[in-house]
Amino acid sequence: MSGPTAFGRGRTAAGGISLAKRTTSTMKQASISEFFEKNKHFLGYDTLQRSIITAVKEAVDNSLDACEEHRILPDIAIELRKVPKKNDRIIMVSQDNGPGIPSKSIEKVFGSLLFGSRFHTIRQTRGQQGIGITGVVMYSQLTTGKTTRVTSKITKEATALQMDIGLDTKKNAALVSNRTRTHDFLDYNGMPVEHGLKVEAPMKAKFQRGRKSVGQYLRMTSIVNPHATIRYRAIDDNGEIIEEFVAERVTDRLPRPVRSIKPHPHGLEIGALNRLLRDSTERRMSLFLRHTFSGVPMRAMKETLSHAEVDPATTPNEVSPEEAQRILNAFNTVRLMAPPTDCLSPIEDLLIKKGLSKSVDSAFVATVTRPPNVSLGNPFQVEVGLIFGREDIPADGAVDVLRFANRVPLMYQQGGCLLTKAIESVSWKGYGLEQPGGKGVPKGAATILVHLASTNVQFTSEAKEAVADNEEVHNEIRLALQEVGRHLKNHRKKSAQKAKAQEKFELVNEILPAISTKASSLLGREEPDLAPVITRIMNAVFCEDEVTWDKEAKVHRCRIKIHNYTARPRAYSILAQYPETDTATFVENELGGRREVKGIWCWKLDTIPPGEAGNIEFSIQGLEHNDWNATEVFFRGSGDIIGASKIDEGILEQIRTEEEIATKKALEESNMALDDAMGHDADNSGDLDAEELQKAMMGPIGERLEHSDAEEAIAQHDIDDSGTLDREELLDATQSDTSRQSGLGEWGDE
């Protein structure tokens, strides 16, 4: 673990600012503006082009965070106005529909640089870069000498509060002027704002378009924040609109709230451990280990201390450096639990797909969200997306690379970034993208998106624009990219087959009858029977499939048609892929069939005579429109079907095994948690009473019981009415959440 981010960022106050009270000693005397000036390269204000992106980014991050925390679907509008008759002067206007900021907090949020330590709260946060919205006020003041206008409205007040904020750089405090109340706070529709925040900051900056621009930054932001609507407009100094778009939200589902987790012992450095020991208020080492870290169940705590030969009763502050080192060593030999990974908030396959599809028109989108993983005690999760067949970019250029860390677009230092290196390490040729020399970023009319979500994203430098090397993360990205690569390859193979089949259909259904009619009429002869000619020409079995969305009935309909254009009767079992989710249910399915494995249904077709076709039709309810747009068809039987693949029984078997393993693993984990919980059985009665259960909930089992309190849990699961939970009942109480199944994984490849 490399420690906390150097500067915690304040959130909008209504969201609860987590500021540390103490200011670091090196900062408190120096002039804040001097500090800003010296460090502007990693604060994001080193060039006029970058400064405007950074300012927009701070505003947008603040808005997204505040909305997320208050479970509001964000509606964010950014406007850049070039100031007439001034070179390189832009007014940045950002407005959101967030909770607004109570009047007493506005000065704090905008008026003081916030230095906070987040050492004890480890979670996936957006604000990993820059110094927050105060930096914008500072930059504005330093480059224009002007103040920033803030308008804020909270629900419970009738009017919006408006003020101009400047900075007293010596005192690190806000200078407020023109404080007023206004009724005149409207949204982009001209409607009065119920709650929201508007920031207007003039600054020295340069407007530009292209890959490193505000437009691109906002587009990227909208892809990884599919729940947000983002409006953007840039206005020239003559009042003309020079760039404008609206990225509408594609889902009403807000991201899962991120949870803080305790540090995990893996990846802990001795210095950090010493600091934790020194600052601890725990009385005993046993409690210190249990309460400071995640992944240390009772058993592991005991083993660690015994390996390290440290008395569990020792006060943490009295642990010697040698003992600390031994504890650190013991952490690596004792079996620990992985840190919880549900503290991460991935965007998820379908939402990435939607986000990508809205931002660019393309023929094909594939996305993969890898299961969470852990590197050096830090949970992380990788997501990738690939769009192919873009018509708006040339096919002979390098593909468009979109990098994100914790939902924040990375726009600089692409070459030195782990995410790029992982893309370069994949052999794209095999998946149908050009890659000169077999390495590097591939070429083609495609976009590759990589998102790394982690409680601790490690960057190469303070500028936080490139992710640092890490083998586990690299491997995860590679695996994910290879998977989308395989999807792409399948897609292209299938499109080629489909195009060929389409041609054949056109040939026998249109051209051949036309030839027959024309030749017959020229010669004055009878038209020949074309059926045997058609069989001769096609001489194959073809599969046609389509998925359509029935707007009225709100169902997806899937039709699969198997044409037998051979001289012999054919018999097949047909398997089709569908999105198996908690909500998706079959509503029409005349042929019946059965579930083969997760996400695959199987039907047995009656024998198809030569020249005829077999049909499968089914409908699925409970999916959103864009959740499903194409199926993949497989078959069992002899011969080939053009447009479908022979099912690989080995892969089916593998998926079944994976499903079993996932179920087993979940069971095992809950057992471990159970052991741990039973460790709280202080009176050794073999049962947990309410008090003991409460304690157990402080530990790992708490994750599973967090929504119900101990009494309730006992009431619900205490089958024998003993008033306590024995082992079996506890198992029952914790099992409800373990049914998460493994994803479809890499099945169906060839």
Partner 1 sequence: MMSEAKSREEVIESLNQVAAEMHDKMLKGQPPTMTLPVRSKTNIEFNKKLGVYKYGKKQTIRDATSLGSARQLLRALHVIDFIEEMIDTAKSSTLREMYYISEGWGLGKFGTQNESNNIAEDLEIVTRCMREDFKLRPEEDGARMIGNVTIEERNRRGDWMRINCRDDVGDSGYGLPYNVEPEKIRLIDQDIDFIMAIETGGMFDRLVENGFDESARCALIHLKGQPARSTRRMIKRMSETWGKPVMVFADCDPWSFRIFASIAYGAIKTAHISEYLATPSSTYLGITADDILAYDLPSDKLTPKDIEALKAELTDPRFATSEWQDQINMMLDEGQKAEQQALAKYGLDFVTDTYLPEKLAEYGLSI
Residue 536 is a binding residue for partner 1 (CB under 8 A): yes
Among 463, 530, 571, 591, binds partner 1 (CB under 8 A): 530
**C-beta closer to partner 1: residue 3 or 528:** 528
Q: Looking at 249-257, 364-372, 528-536, 571-579, which segment touches partner 1 (CB under 8 A)?
A: 528-536
Give the integer Cα–Cα distance in Å for 169 and 172: 5
- CB of 439 or CB of 536, closer to partner 1: 536
As measured in angstroms, the least distance from the Cβ of 539 to partner 1 is 9
Least separation in angstroms between residue 517's CB and partner 1 is: 9
Contact 480, 383 (CB under 8 A): yes
CB of 506 to partner 1, least distance (A): 6
Question: DSSP string spanning 323-373?
Answer: HHHHHHHHHHHS--PPPPSTT-----HHHHHHHHHHHS--SEEEEEEPPPE
Q: What is the arrangement of strands in the sheet containing 613-621, beginning at the earlier edge strand?
A: 585-589, 613-621, 555-564, 541-550, 641-642
Least distance to partner 1 from the beta carbon of 737, Å? 56
Q: Site mask, partner 1, residues 446-485, x = CB under 8 A?
A: ----------------------------------------
Categorise residue 88: left if φ over 0, alpha if ψ from -120 to 50, beta otherwise: left
* Contact stretch for partner 1 (CB under 8 A) within 117-125, 174-182, 348-356, 520-528: 520-528
Give the 3-state DSSP-derived string for 9-55, with helices as H, strands as E and coil as C. CCCCHHHCCCCCCCCCHHHHCCCHHHHHHHCHHHHCCCCHHHHHHHH
Contact 138, 113 (CB under 8 A): yes
> 409, 402 in Cβ contact below 8 A?
yes
Count helices and strands in the chain by DSSP H and E runs: 21, 24
Alpha carbon distances (Å) from 59 to 71, 77, 300, 345: 18, 10, 44, 21
CB distance 704 to 670 below 8 Å = yes
What is the total count of residues that contact partner 1 (CB under 8 A)?
23
Which of 257, 528, 569, 609 touches partner 1 by CB under 8 A? Answer: 528
Partner residues linked to 235 by β-bridges:
81, 241
48-69 vs 214-224: helix axis angle to the nearest 10? 30
Using CB under 8 A as the binding rule, whether residue 568 contacts partner 1 is answered as no
**Cα 215–Cα 217–Cα 219 angle in degrees, nearest 5:** 70
For partner 1, which stretch binds (CB under 8 A), given 35-43, 306-314, 525-533, 662-670?
A: 525-533
The dihedral through the CA atoms of 644, 645, 651, 656 has a sign that is positive
Judge whether 565 and 539 are in contact, CB under 8 Å: yes
Q: How far apart are CA 351 and CA 687, in angstroms?
A: 45
Contacts within 8 Å (CB) and 24+ apart, 692-695: 693/725
CB 258, min distance to partner 1, A? 55
Segment interacting with partner 1 (CB under 8 A) among 30-38, 382-390, 521-529, 678-686: 521-529
Q: Please, which of residues 486-515 interact with partner 1 by CB under 8 A?
A: 503-504, 506-507, 510-512, 514-515
Backbone angles phi, psi at 601, to 5 degrees: -110, 150
The residue from 73, 537, 584, 591 that contacts partner 1 (CB under 8 A) is 537
Burial 607-630 (b: 16+ CB within 10 A, else e): ebeeeebbebebbbebbbebbbee
Q: Which is nearer to partner 1, 158 or 523 (CB)?
A: 523
- Considering beta carbons, is residue 434 or 506 the nearer one to partner 1? 506
C-beta of 513 vs 569, nearer to partner 1:
513
| Residue 259: HSE in the Cβ half-sphere, 13 Å Cα cutoff | 12
Which of 83, 75, 53, 65 has the alpha carbon at shortest distance from 9?
65
Closest C-alpha to 339, from 418, 480, 454: 454
CB 76 within 8 A of CB 98: no
Contacting range for partner 1; rule: CB under 8 A; set: 103-111, 371-379, 433-441, 522-530:
522-530
Does position 246 interact with partner 1 (CB under 8 A)? The reply is: no
Choice between 537 and 584, CB closer to partner 1: 537
Map the footprint of partner 1 across residues 355-414, applying CB under 8 A.
none
> In the complex with partner 1, which residue's Cβ is closer, 506 or 660?
506
Nearest distance from C-beta of residue 457 to partner 1, angstroms: 52
* Cβ at position 540, least distance to partner 1 in Å: 12
Cβ proximity to partner 1: between 242 and 530 the closer is 530
Closest approach of partner 1 to the CB of residue 516, in Å:
6
Closest separation in Å from C-beta 610 to partner 1: 13
Closest CB to partner 1 among 393 and 537? 537
For the bound state, the minimum distance from the C-beta of residue 481 to partner 1, rounded and expressed in Å, comes to: 36
Candidate residues 18, 143, 274, 516; the one interacting with partner 1 per rule CB under 8 A: 516
Shortest approach of partner 1 to residue 508 CB, angstroms?
9
Q: Say if CB 61 and CB 76 are below 8 A apart.
A: no
CA distance 91 to 33: 21
Which residues does residue 373 pair with via DSSP β-bridges, in sequence order?
Answer: 380
Residue from 518, 554, 665, 740 touching partner 1 (CB under 8 A): that is: 518
Comparing C-alpha atoms, which of 716, 697, 717, 718 is closest to residue 706? 697
Task: Identify which of residues 517 and 615 has a Cβ nearer to partner 1 in the complex.
Answer: 517
Select from 156, 525, 594, 707 the one that contacts partner 1 (CB under 8 A).
525
| Smaller CB separation from partner 1, 82 or 504 | 504
Among 522, 582, 638, 684, binds partner 1 (CB under 8 A): 522
Q: Which residues bind partner 1 (CB under 8 A)?
A: 503-504, 506-507, 510-512, 514-516, 518-520, 522-523, 525, 528-530, 532-533, 536-537
